[in-house]
Amino acid sequence: MKAKSAKTRRKPRADSIRNRERLLVAAAKVFSADTGQASLEAVAREAAVGIGTLYRHFPTREAMFDAVYRHEVDQLFVLAEKLSRSTDPVEGLRKWLYANVHLVATKKGMVEALQLVAHGSSELKTYSFDRLTTAIALLLDRGVAAGVLRSDVAPEELLRVLVGIFYSQAGENWQPGATRLVNVFVDGLCSTSSAGKRRRL
Amino acid sequence: MKAKSAKTRRKPRADSIRNRERLLVAAAKVFSADTGQASLEAVAREAAVGIGTLYRHFPTREAMFDAVYRHEVDQLFVLAEKLSRSTDPVEGLRKWLYANVHLVATKKGMVEALQLVAHGSSELKTYSFDRLTTAIALLLDRGVAAGVLRSDVAPEELLRVLVGIFYSQAGENWQPGATRLVNVFVDGLCSTSSAGKRRRL
DNA sequence: AACTATACGGAGGCACCCTCCGTTTGTCAA
DNA sequence: TTGACAAACGGAGGGTGCCTCCGTATAGTT
């Protein structure tokens, strides 16, 4: 027996869940379009769902962005889990970081979203921070355990570096630059034998 | 005879000039509203002018913002001229800086405008920079000549400080803070006797 | 005063926002 | 299985904004 307050609740309808998922996928796609502008009606169309359904799931634009953002963070987390299982540690980490760059690069329209997020619930911020930190830890620890990655860089630190890389890259077509910086950093993380661990603070 | 290329041009119509002015005033007002959102139709209504007239004068949103911004810069310049004529030098400068704070503070909706301007024509940027620098020079020089303001601060430098003050003040209701900083700086500029001129580079 | 370049105004077509409500459908109890 | 109904769906509709087009009004010119 589920112990909910007065009146047992039903389990959520299957079509509701499906439509919500569809909307998130559609939103991610539409907002990624180069235009930067995106109408909610376009999202509904893309999802092949009535506009009313969209509004029921996401009463406001902010709610929509919030959910999309969470969704992407979750996907990054899942990707980290997968990569930490299948590939060798260094390449796994590298691929995950690439995925981050790619995600940000293709989300032109997400700029607006990010602004809303930045001004929005700090709950969302801590959520994504925790989630991403954990994802990085997953990838990092394996490499450290295998002795191919240096052990003195904390997951939060790596995350901050990543954010810094994104932040520092302005203007058009910055993806190559960001990718290069990621590579440099990963290479640096590999220098566990020659340079020795824990040189400097 | 006016020597214009092929066919002598008429002098611009009076109603055209009047309407343009009205639109600029209306736009400044509407964009200043707390909402941050502003429709061009609202501007036209405020100006008591047809929407068609608005679009004829300002074909795009950017053109509108551009013109409004120029207009405000011009008004600041005029204010500087007036203040440099009527009040005592220090108070004149102070009042002018206050006017700047007030202008920025009440232009919530101008944030969007400023972004467009920032990404827009660099011509506009140099225009306003020059204009404001000259305005400051007007106020500064009198004080220096009268010996009540130190002489080693250039107009451009003061402008940069002002921009810095605006830039550093985030969040709601920052006007008091900005005003305080302005006061501090003006007081500093007055310290021509006790602290001596040109201490340090 | 007549002429005409110029400017005016707003109707109209399209897109978007958001709400409301009649219809459909998945869930659960019998 | 089946029937009842809460829950979810979809889209019409009313409001607003964007921008264009063109018939009408009018300020400058002769």
Higher pLDDT, A173 or A28: A28
Q: Determine the average pLDDT of the residues in A37-58.
A: 96
Higher pLDDT, A106 or A132: A132
Closest amino acid to nucleotide C18 (CA–C1'): A55
Query: pLDDT at residue A27 above 80?
Result: yes
Query: pLDDT at residue B16 above 60?
Result: yes
Q: So what's the pLDDT on residue A87? A: 82
Q: So what's the pLDDT on residue A200? A: 41
The answer to whether the C-beta of B199 is closer than 7 A to strand C is no
Query: Integer distance in angstroms from CA A12 to C1' C23?
Result: 20
Q: Which nucleotide is nearest to A38 (CA to C1')?
A: C16
Under the banding of pLDDT at 50, 70 and 90, the label for residue B6 is: very low
Higher pLDDT, A161 or B87: A161
Higher pLDDT, A117 or B144: B144
Average pLDDT along chain B: 85
Q: So what's the pLDDT on residue B122? A: 78
Cα→Cα distances B62→A72, B59, B124, B180, Å: 34, 8, 12, 33
Report how far residue A41's alpha carbon sits from residue B54's, in angstroms, rounded to the nearest whole number: 29
Chain C: nucleotides under 7 Å from a protein CB? 5-12, 15-21, 25-29
The answer to whether the C-beta of A52 is closer than 7 A to strand C is yes
Backbone dihedral angles phi then psi of residue B60, each to the nearest 5 degrees:
-130, 165
Q: Which nucleotide is nearest to B59 (CA to C1')?
A: D19
Q: Are B80 and B25 in contact (CB under 8 A)?
A: no
Q: So what's the pLDDT on residue A136? A: 97
Query: pLDDT at residue A198 above 90?
Result: no
Higher pLDDT, B117 or B141: B141
Q: So what's the pLDDT on residue B173? A: 75
Q: Which nucleotide is nearest to B8 (CA to C1')?
A: D29
Query: Integer distance in angstroms from CA B10 to C1' C3?
Result: 14
Q: Determine the average pLDDT of the residues in A67-96.
A: 94
A110-119 helix and A14-32 helix, angle to the nearest 10 degrees: 110
Query: pLDDT at residue A156 above 80?
Result: yes
Report how far residue A55's alpha carbon sits from residue A60's, in angstroms, rounded to the nearest whole number: 7
pLDDT digits (tens, 9 = 90+) for A119-152: 667 788 899 999 999 999 999 999 999 999 999 9
Higher pLDDT, B6 or A14: A14
Report how far residue B80's alpha carbon sits from residue B100's, in angstroms, rounded to the nearest whole number: 11
Query: Integer distance in angstroms from CA B139 to C1' C22?
Result: 71
Q: Are B140 and B95 in contact (CB under 8 A)?
A: no
Under the banding of pLDDT at 50, 70 and 90, the label for residue A113 is: low
Residues 13-72 of B with CB under 7 A from strand C: 13, 15-16, 19-20, 49-53, 55-57
Higher pLDDT, B70 or A196: B70
User: Model pTM?
Assistant: 0.75
* % of chain A surpassing 70 pLDDT: 81
Query: pLDDT at residue A158 above 90?
Result: yes
For B196: left if phi > 0, alpha if psi spans -120 to 50, otherwise beta; the answer is left
Query: pLDDT at residue A118 above 70?
Result: no
The answer to whether the C-beta of B9 is closer than 7 A to strand C is yes
Say which range, A34-38, A63-67, B91-95, has the weakest mean pLDDT: A34-38
Average pLDDT along chain A: 85
Three-state DSSP string of A83-135: HHHHCCHHHHHHHHHHHHHHHHHCCCCHHHHHHHHHHCCHHHHHHHHHHHHHH
Q: So what's the pLDDT on residue B166? A: 80
Query: Integer distance in angstroms from CA B46 to C1' C6?
Result: 24
Higher pLDDT, B66 or A117: B66
Query: pLDDT at residue A193 above 80?
Result: no
Backbone dihedral angles phi then psi of residue A43, each to the nearest 5 degrees:
-65, -45
pLDDT digits (tens, 9 = 90+) for B150-185: 999 999 999 999 988 887 766 667 888 889 999 999
Query: Integer distance in angstroms from CA B17 to C1' C10?
Result: 21
pLDDT digits (tens, 9 = 90+) for B33-88: 766 678 999 999 999 999 999 999 999 998 998 899 899 999 999 999 999 998 89
Query: Integer distance in angstroms from CA A20 to C1' C29?
Result: 28
Under the banding of pLDDT at 50, 70 and 90, the label for residue A34 is: low
Q: Which nucleotide is nearest to A49 (CA to C1')?
A: D10
Q: Are B70 and B124 in contact (CB under 8 A)?
A: yes
